[in-house]
Amino acid sequence: MTSLYWRTFGEGKLDLVLLHGWGLNAEVWGCITDRLAPHFRLHLVDLPGYGRSQDFGVLSLHQMAEVMLEKAPQQAVWLGWSMGGLVASKMALIAPERVQALISVASSPCFCARDEEKWPGIRADVLRGFEEQLSGNFEQTVAQFMALQTLGAPDARNDAKKLNQVVLNCPMPKVSVLHGGLRLLAENDLRQALVDLPVPLLRIYGSLDGLVPRRIVPQLDALWPRSRSVLINHAAHAPFISHPDEFCQQVISFIREFSPEGQD
């Protein structure tokens, strides 16, 4: 039987599920859990195949979301960072009755650039380059990807060190799972699917993010007028690490607007 790492704690009544990004695990949230635990019942998850959820092989986006559903609370706010934002978004699409609200962090419904549509994102050749490097020295490749996520942040070197420490503190994903994650980023496009999303949506971005460029913000503002976007100045791809107080305040304020259980 496959086992999914899932840890629950916190003093609040409302459930908040946190999903990490590619190559990482739930320990990445350690810098903000003390700020959020007084307000919510937190659920820290290692995505299937990552961290301590080693029993899983390569899964599609839909399969990942279905695995989450098996262990998730009956209702929760889902917060997903980067690739975790795609998984949380898929959750909201296949089981909206289980999702009170969706918060995406430095995430995109379509990570790969689409030049013909003037859609900004990661160039396909960059993703292919990471895939090729994984087969050689995957630990070094993961470290390079972590550095890319913090590039431009005020304390980029220290932020990258924190991300790498998270990787080192848990089992490394299999190379096949990392390959599958990059393909997941390259192949999925949820832009149109999320147009009629029936749950509240907050999108948080870093103004200096090189992986999810700020140029997608006005495009999604127009495509998803019922959602809300927040741009954190001087933050890169991990705003909860570089700007934890501002990040948590945005999350808490958003949830308070629609949920009495999110009140102090």
- Residue 249 CB partners (closer than 8 Å, separation 6+): none
Within 10 A of 158 (CB to CB), how many other CB atoms are there? 12
- Closest alpha carbon to 33 in 264, 248, 258: 248
User: Which candidate in 15, 46, 159, 209 is catalytic?
Assistant: 209
- Closest alpha carbon to 235 in 201, 218, 202, 212: 212
Identify the helix (H) or strand (E) that includes residue 213.
Answer: none
- Residue 108 CB partners (closer than 8 Å, separation 6+): 85, 121, 212, 216
User: Which candidate in 82, 89, 107, 242 is catalytic?
Assistant: 82
> Catalytic site residue 82?
yes
> Catalytic site residue 209?
yes
> Catalytic site residue 62?
no
Q: Provide the annotated active-site residues.
A: 82, 209, 237
